[in-house]
Amino acid sequence: MIPYLIIIPLLGAFAMPLMGLAGRKAGELWAVIVTLLTFGVSIDVFNTVWKKGILVYTLGAKSPIGKGVDFPVRIVWEVDLLGALLALVVAFVTLVVVVYSIEYMKHDTGLEKYYTLVMLLEVGMLGIAMTGDLFNFYVFFEITGIASYALVAFRNDTWEGIEAGIKYMFAGSLASSLVLLGVVLLYGQYGTLTMAYLSKMITGNPTFTSRVALGLLIGGLLFKSGAVPVHMWLADAHPAAPSSISAMLSGLVIKLGGVYAITRLAFSVFGGGTNLRTLGWVVILFACATLIVGNAMAVVQTDMKRLLAYSSVGQIGYILLGVGIGLAAYGSEVGNVALAGAIYHTVNHALIKALLFLIAGAVIHNLGTRNLNELSGIARRMPITSFAFLVGAMAIIGVPPMNGFASKWLIYESSALFNPLVGVIAIIGTAFSFAAYIRVVFTFLGRPCERVMQAQEPGKAMLLPMLILVAAIVLTGLFPWIISDRVMLPAAKMLENTGNYVSAVLGGA
Amino acid sequence: MSEERGMGIIVETIARATIPLIGIFGAYVVSHGHLTPGGGFQGGATIAGAGILFLIAFGLGEMKQHYNKNLYSILEGLGGLAFLGMAMLGIGVAFFYNTLWHNGPIFNGRPGTLLSAGYLPVMNIAVGLKVFAGLVSAMVAIASYRRWGK
């Protein structure tokens, strides 16, 4: 089933101009059908990987190994539990966002291009999650990047859309050229692009070039994940994009193109030939800076979407912290728990932040303002939306009945065991995050101001996606330890076991 | 609307002569992608060059009469679909399995001849179509963007 994860959304994107001719409704229906089918396929892939372990798919032949040689010559797609889990989340959030867009994008023009770009964004992210080939990874990384530049600037009649789009595109192209340079150096040194085989080569012969390449790759990918010294594009791009796109950018793009790629490269490619302790500490330093700066900047915002964007930066800090500890304490129980927490938080934050941005979109769509000072008392007129926001805010701070609790707990626990100072920083970050969100919640619950009195609940097509996400957050929050033990810890174990990743492609060779 | 007019008569006459030549050469590059240097992207970009020469030499007004937005966007979509369709032909073995070359009815001639590379010529044509339609559409869209000062 693995190739259909790419084929279906790609078919959807290519056929969109034809469907667009049949009218607006046909285009929307087509987009919903395509994303629904993709979601179905991703469930199947996840289920298969969960039961059977790593899946390998070779493009163009049965086996990745070339004729008469003992190394892989073809593009392989290699899906382990982490990749399958992220593919599932990507397909789910995209489906929700597409349904939401039907009503949210009602007043915009050029919608067949919008849906084409959304489906291409999905293709890119699913490809990143699946691929086992370094250059193929770069291609999907660029598909994701270019689709998101275009989507950020989609409302090109607003000055901020254009400004954020240009900023994001210039800096993003620079970052992805760093990634390309890293790929080039690795190819020049080792003569292969298959991740599994490359991992074997690097383990056997770790050179200085491979370290330079690792530095370039991590540098480019930290940019895409919005880690602190290079997070400035995120705080502009997320508020300027249409809210449905902010939900995808914040929930998915920064994780697939950034954190997931770092994790995959660090563990699966460089796991054997690099000093993981040093690499882990580098990631931890960036993570701590990201945690503090992102969450602290969220407190002082008056723009609702900007607040959510900075909060995304802060939450990326937690995920990076988990990954960093997973690297620095590689092979120990603490490292395993931290990595499981990072994976868990990636999934949870994707759901939570998608929900919060969809709510922000509903508020803006209704009232035409993102300024928190003008939104007081919105709960009086939009009770369901405000309730959904309350759930999202509780989840992101990590209040027990919601899903954010368990994942943050895993990260706190492991960071405190790893190094108490890092644990303290993580707690301080959450304190800031709490302050930011409690302010918004109080604004929503306050005395209604004049502007808010004309507000009303959004229609069904916007409420339904929000309620689905609320249900997902609450339901997964009810069984945190079951999910952690049965999905997240095995995913972390599977990721740490580089040998299995390599031999799945090379067949023990 | 001075921008919409073309250039002088010399340029227009020479464009009339060269546009077909550029187009034919582009088609050659596309169709021989599996035998000679070049291929879908290079050939498609060459043909798009003919379109852009038309746009510049005859002006936007003339171009708008010969350009249909829907047609070009459908052509671009069809290029993508044809590529995907070729990649799907051998899905029984693997995605991108070149079943036309291994056991397909045509396109499996002696290597070096025109019909010899399985799905490659078809993919080249699909990519060429996509690149041509995409580049021409992009150039027309940029050329017909709102004017300065309006």
For residue range A214-243, list pLDDT tens digits in order.
999 999 999 988 888 888 888 889 888 999
User: Is there a contact between B94 and A16 if contact means CB atoms under 8 Å apart?
Assistant: no
What is the Cα–Cα distance from A384 to A379, expressed in whole angstroms? 8
Q: Give, for A202, the enclosing helix (H) or strand (E).
A: helix A195-204
- pLDDT above 60: residue A509: no
Closest CA to B40 of B104, B113, B134: B134
Select the residue from B71, B84, B127 to test the A interface by mutation, using most A Cβ atoms within 10 A. B84
Select the residue from A14, A79, A126, A157 to test the B interface by mutation, using most B Cβ atoms within 10 A. A14
Calculate mean pLDDT across residues B65-73. 89
- pLDDT above 60: residue A70: yes
DSSP conformation class of A308? H
For residue B100, what pLDDT band results from cuts at 50, 70 and 90? confident
For residue B1, what pLDDT band results from cuts at 50, 70 and 90? very low
- pLDDT above 80: residue B4: no
Nearest CA in chain A to B89: A60
Query: What pLDDT, on the 0 to 100 scale, is given for residue A2?
Result: 85
For residue range A356-413, list pLDDT tens digits in order.
999 999 988 888 888 888 888 888 888 898 899 999 999 999 888 888 899 999 999 9
- pLDDT above 70: residue A74: yes
- A6-20, A70-84, B89-103, range with the lowest pLDDT: B89-103
Nearest CA in chain B to A116: B77
Spatial contact of A108 and A157, defined as CB atoms under 8 Å apart? no
Whole-model pTM? Answer: 0.93
For residue range A130-184, list pLDDT tens digits in order.
999 999 999 999 999 999 999 999 988 888 889 999 999 999 999 999 999 999 9
Average pLDDT over chain A reads: 89
Nearest CA in chain A to B80: A14
Report the SS3 class of residue A76.
Answer: strand
Q: Are strands A55-58 and A76-79 parallel, antiparallel or unpaired?
A: antiparallel
Chain B residues whose C-beta is within 8 A of a chain A C-beta are: 70, 73-74, 76-77, 80-81, 84, 88, 91, 93-98
Chain centre distance of CA A324? 17
Report the SS3 class of residue B141.
Answer: helix
For residue B112, what pLDDT band results from cuts at 50, 70 and 90? confident
For residue range B137-147, list pLDDT tens digits in order.
999 998 888 77
What is the percentage of chain A residues whose pLDDT exceeds 70? Answer: 100
Residues of A in contact with B98 (CB under 8 A): 60
For residue B3, what pLDDT band results from cuts at 50, 70 and 90? low
What is the percentage of chain B residues whose pLDDT exceeds 70? Answer: 94
- How far does the CA of residue B133 sit from the closest CA of chain A (Å)? 13
What is the Cα–Cα distance from B81 to A131, expressed in whole angstroms? 22
- pLDDT above 60: residue A61: yes
